[in-house]
Amino acid sequence: MNPSYTILEEEIFGVTDKGNRELRGASTTLSQRELGLLVLVDAQATVLQLMQRLPAMPREMVFGILRKLLEDGLIKSTNATASDDLDFTGFLSSNPAPPPSEGALSAASQEAAAGEVALSQQGYYVSIARAATAVRTLKPDERLLAVVIEDEPHLGKLLRTYLGFEKIDAVLATNRQEIVVAFRLPRPPDFVLLDVMLPDTDGFDVLAKIRQHPTLNQVPVIMLTAKTTRESVLRGLAGGANGYITKPFNFDSLLKAVRTVVGLPQPRNDKPSSPFDAV
């Protein structure tokens, strides 16, 4: 296994034929903890759910054992084979995505000026042309799924916590490999929050790859950026971004942008402010 492989809490593992032979054998070389975790792997539970079933086992120990089981060929990720349509492996190619066409740049140029102003004044901007046209109503037990691509782990976890209050489950990714794993999940996300600046790639390149993908190309993408220049807004809009959010975040503004691109009704004006808005 690649030593840099990142295991995500949302990832799902199944037992291989070798793993089943280990479980059925008269003897085993696995420790009691390793064997106990292998028994729980069922191709349905996420890593987070496995940790919840083993509250006495530290998080890092669970990840370490899963890594060892992977290296020994006893388990395998089921996310990578969930759907060929969601195979985002091509993103690992060293070839950058082509820049936006002249036509796309021209169409976005006037809107970029308005977007820059809106970002400066209210902290978010959603393209009128890419706002959801149909109202979406969630069922009582329905939750949205977001992929949050943010290289600051603390901020990513804060976003996941806040989105969770709004019936939105968030899968976090901080680098290229984690992005690939996130987009291999069986269910396509309802929207993506995409940081412009990433440690080993460019957010605009990730946006271009998403827009070229046969399954993901219609997923709303909101760029996260500390830049509010017209040039950066133009590049995102021309590349197919649905909108922008500026750092530091005002979470009420972020929620308004998310609701706009997904098609959910906006909250009432008298809704209490988020406790995170001071962050």
pLDDT of residue 176: 84
pLDDT of residue 2: 46
The answer on pLDDT for 271 being more than 60 is no
8 A C-beta contact, residue 118 and residue 125 = yes
When pLDDT is cut at 50, 70 and 90, the band that residue 77 belongs to is confident
Mean pLDDT comparison of 127-136, 168-177, 254-263, highest-scoring range: 254-263
Q: Which residue has the higher pLDDT, 276 or 28?
A: 28
pLDDT of residue 133: 83
Class for the domain spanning 102-262: alpha beta
The answer on pLDDT for 3 being more than 70 is no
Residue 148: closest CA among 203, 192, 185, 188 = 192
Q: What percentage of the chain's residues is helix, strand, coil (to nearest 5)?
A: 45, 15, 40
Instruction: Tell me whether strands 243-246 and 221-225 are parallel, antiparallel or unpaired.
Output: parallel
CA distances in angstroms from 67 to 72, 108, 271, listed in the order given: 9, 46, 44
Q: Taking the C-alpha atoms of 178, 179, 180 and 184 in order, what is their torsion angle to the nearest 10 degrees?
A: 100
Mean local confidence (pLDDT), 54-74: 91
The answer on pLDDT for 46 being more than 60 is yes
Among 59-63, 69-73, 83-87, 228-232, the minimum mean pLDDT is found in 83-87
What's the token pair of residue 227?
Answer: 């830049």
Phi, psi angle pair for 43, to nearest 5°? 65, 15
Q: In angstroms, rounded to a whole number, what is the distance separating the alpha carbons of residues 216 and 183?
A: 9
Mean local confidence (pLDDT), 232-256: 89
pLDDT of residue 89: 53
Among 46-60, 185-199, 263-277, the minimum mean pLDDT is found in 263-277
Q: What are the CB-based long-range contacts (under 8 Å, 24+) for 150-157?
A: 150/174, 150/193, 150/195, 150/224, 151/175, 151/195, 151/197, 151/198, 151/199
Mean local confidence (pLDDT), 251-258: 92
Mean local confidence (pLDDT), 102-126: 85
Percentage of residues in the chain having pLDDT higher than 90: 33
The answer on pLDDT for 8 being more than 90 is no
Phi, psi angle pair for 127, to nearest 5°? -65, 125
The answer on pLDDT for 82 being more than 60 is no
Looking at residue 271, the DSSP 8-state letter turns out to be S
Q: In angstroms, rounded to a whole number, what is the distance separating the alpha carbons of residues 124 and 128?
A: 13
Mean local confidence (pLDDT), 95-116: 77
